[in-house]
Structure 1
Amino acid sequence: MFEQPYLLIVVSSLAIGLVAGFVMHRSDFCVTASFRDMFLFRDFFLMRQMVLLIAVSMVLFEFGRLVGIITIHPFPLLGAPTLVNAIGGFVFGIGMVLAGGCVCGSLFKFGAGSAASLLAVGGMIAGSTFYAEIHPQWAAFAKATVLVDKRVTLAQWLELPPTILLLPLATALGFWLWREFRAGRMVRPAFAASHLAPWRAAVVLALLGFASYVLVGMPLGITTTYSKLGLAIESLFAPEHVGSLAYASTMPLNYTPPFTDRTISGGPGPQLDAIAALQYPLILGIVGGALFSALHLGEFRLQWRLPPRQFASALAGGILLGLAARMAPACNVWHLWGGVPILAMQSLLFVAGLVPGTWVGARLLTRFVVR
């Protein structure tokens, strides 16, 4: 397992995860809050940081493609757009608000001691595992609702070079962000000396996504591993049932990473494969980076004194997140930090569902959880 190309993948993913967890904890950079705050408080501050992350990623990805250091475009596991992308995004939006964090946010908050986030991660594993039971029906629905066949990005659909679309869009976003900086809307006062400004965190996270794309051939992704973990646990008690699941035997990842000529493959089943090499170290890194940051600041503490309804919300939200990440497929990190910057149509549909899903989640949160 630890021979080329797996060694480079494991080391790269672990290093990227450690830095990402550290940066997200120091800045409290949360994708969930970026969307949720728009509806709860009409506050767009964190959404501006998310736009910055996407814009920087867009420039870096296209630059890497043009100069030849990104050789896989579009990256593996992206496919043709289908209605399930928007449906999955909608359910994901509800889940991340109820959980109090997305797949990355829950991990770094767990690393800092949040018991609710740990419960949310457990819910994600449960939701991802349940999806295996309905995969054949959902996969058939996804195939029946394909919107554009054999095309992944807008540029491919329009039969245009990617730069023709990305250059004017990146320029427009850059001009708008420059005006937001000039107006002081990208920065807020921070009273902790250790605090990392969210705009700086956005740039660092974009650079980490770019590093992942260059080194392993794709940007950051996590959620397939929740299925692997869940099915591995289930196989301890019902190995025959897990072996009979069609989803457990699928191998959607099959590609040749950069810096090697060896093809690797992986799937959501419990086996150790390419997806395990990509995502297990990344998850451990995010948790470990946040834990190190919290310990270094003397801020680590177990946060468990919460009302029961908040724990229930975290668990329910986590289950929805895990289920939605398989329905979509993939999570907000994969789509926002990876697919949207290259105008992948799957990712654009995911965001189209994510926004109204977040609104519904915010309404449920204020009605039943945080009254």
Structure 2
Amino acid sequence: MLLKIISGGLVGIAFGFVLQRTRFCMTGGFRDMYIAKNNTLFYAFLIAITVESVGVLSLIKLGIVSSPYEDYSVLGAIIGSYLFGIGIVLAGGCATGTWYRAAEGLIGSWVALFFYMLSAASMKYGALQFLNQAISKYWVVNDNLAGQLGISVWYFVLLLVIVTILLVIRELNKTKKIVATLAPKYKGIRHLLFEKQYHKFWAGFVIGLIALIAWPASEFAGRTGGLGITTPSANLISYVATGDINLLNWGVFLVLGIFLGSYIAARGAGEFRWRLPDIKTIRKSTVGGILMGIGASWAGGCTIGNGLTATAVISSKGWIALPLTILGVWTASYFIFVKPNQYLKGE
């Protein structure tokens, strides 16, 4: 248990700290691709996937990390990821984004987080388990994409590296806007940790390293896998309800670490304060949290579990879930942001 607490907790603290300080939430990143035609955060996400992919597949090849591939329902990945994408827009943040914003004192994120955890636990262990079991029976395949196709996984990794490098270079070569910045209040390590603004590409690189470290850290604690948010979140609330200590696995201490790391970052940066939303936001957060839990359970992962971790090992589930999540975000963004503006403009 101590190894799980230290290993999962330290990875989570580092992850949460970086997420909060760099404002790295893929809900906004996916939304900006559609509304603002800005792909910067998505390219940073690709950097994270690429860094993790090269590292973790090397560790698997060396026998340091166990093979993570498993069977899954393609239908569940499609429907669940799409619903999850809609849910994170309503909730105002993806799974990790909701955790770190709750640590900043946003009551709306606390509401979304509670219903996300509750609905995920219901799908995995409770009254909604029959929904999970029903969809999991259809269109079941193994998620080892390279193995299913009978080719080396390194061809996919090479393609991922090339595409990521080309997109990043193109983005960096765009005309850069000169942005005025305020004189720093702090100096030294305090400035670097709590004040300095970092490019999203650097954030993606660091997150990729943390995601990579999570694999051997989890392996040493007796768990196969990398970063994951939904099942640990479901386990946490189930433990609170039942007291079953077996639910306190590496992933639970990971998400608790994310909260703690985000809280430390928010406090240090002077960004923590309790903020009470209006009734409309609470309603959206509630519905969003429920859709997040149901969708991620059907899909077998969230933006991190599927979008970052599964894609890195070239899992077909991950590469199906990622575009479907983005499509769900775009759908919700159209009805919540685009269409109301069109109506106001008389279009």
SS across alignment from 2:203? helix
Read off the aligned partner of 1:311 and give its amino acid letter.
I
Cα RMSD (Å): 2.5
Distance verdict in 2 for CA 1:314–1:368, change over 3 Å: farther
Shift of 1:290: 1.4
Distance verdict in 2 for CA 1:284–1:233, change over 3 Å: closer
Instruction: Quote the Cα distance in structure 1 between the aligned partners of 2:159 and 2:139.
Output: 31
Distance verdict in 2 for CA 1:13–1:234, change over 3 Å: closer
Shift of 1:292: 0.9
Shift of 1:232: 4.3
Match of 2:105 in 1: 113
Distance verdict in 2 for CA 1:189–1:83, change over 3 Å: farther
Whether 2:330 is the aligned partner of 1:362: answer no
Deviations 1:156-213 (CA, angstroms, capped at 9, x unpaired):
111122113322332232233233223367x985836422322111111110110011
Match of 1:339 in 2: 310
Match of 1:276 in 2: 248
Instruction: Quote the Cα distance in structure 2 between the aligned partners of 1:180 and 1:290.
Output: 29
Distance verdict in 2 for CA 1:231–1:290, change over 3 Å: closer
Deviations 1:303-324 (CA, angstroms, capped at 9, x unpaired):
22x3321121112111111111
Distance verdict in 2 for CA 1:232–1:294, change over 3 Å: closer
Match of 2:160 in 1: 169
> Does structure 2 conserve the Cα–Cα contact (< 8 Å) formed by 1:82 and 1:143?
no
Unmatched segments (≥5 aa) in structure 2: 183-194, 220-224
Match of 2:136 in 1: 142
Match of 1:285 in 2: 257
Match of 1:262 in 2: none
Read off the aligned partner of 1:72 and give its amino acid letter.
S
Q: TM-score, normalised by structure 2?
A: 0.85
Read off the aligned partner of 1:214 and give its amino acid letter.
P
Read off the aligned partner of 1:221 and give its amino acid letter.
G
Read off the aligned partner of 2:92 and give its amino acid letter.
G
Deviations 1:226-253 (CA, angstroms, capped at 9, x unpaired):
3234444555xxxxxxxxxxxxxxxxxx
Shift of 1:294: 1.7
Read off the aligned partner of 1:42 and give its amino acid letter.
K
Read off the aligned partner of 1:97 and give its amino acid letter.
V
Instruction: Quote the Cα distance in structure 1 between the aligned partners of 2:151 and 2:297.
Output: 30
Match of 1:30 in 2: 25
> Does structure 1 conserve the Cα–Cα contact (< 8 Å) formed by 2:73 and 2:136?
no
Whether 2:92 is the aligned partner of 1:85: answer no
Given the alignment, which residue of 212, 215, 225 partners 2:214?
A: 212
Match of 2:170 in 1: 179
Deviations 1:58-107 (CA, angstroms, capped at 9, x unpaired):
222233334x164312x26x424521111100000000011000110011
Query: Aligned ranges for residues 183-332 of structure 1 at < 5 Å?
Result: 183=174, 189=179, 191=181, 193-217=195-219, 218-232=225-239, 235=242, 271-273=244-246, 276-304=248-276, 306-332=277-303
Deviations 1:80-139 (CA, angstroms, capped at 9, x unpaired):
452111110000000001100011001111111111111110111222233232323432
SS across alignment from 2:120? helix
Moved more, 87-96 or 119-128: 119-128
> Does structure 1 conserve the Cα–Cα contact (< 8 Å) formed by 2:73 and 2:135?
no
Deviations 1:260-306 (CA, angstroms, capped at 9, x unpaired):
xxxxxxxxxx6323x622122111211111111121122221122x3
Query: Aligned ranges for residues 59-138 of structure 1 at < 5 Å?
Result: 59-66=54-61, 68=62, 70-73=64-67, 75=68, 78-131=70-123, 132-138=126-132
Q: TM-score, normalised by structure 1?
A: 0.79
Match of 2:145 in 1: 154
> Does structure 2 conserve the Cα–Cα contact (< 8 Å) formed by 1:81 and 1:349?
no
Distance verdict in 2 for CA 1:189–1:104, change over 3 Å: farther
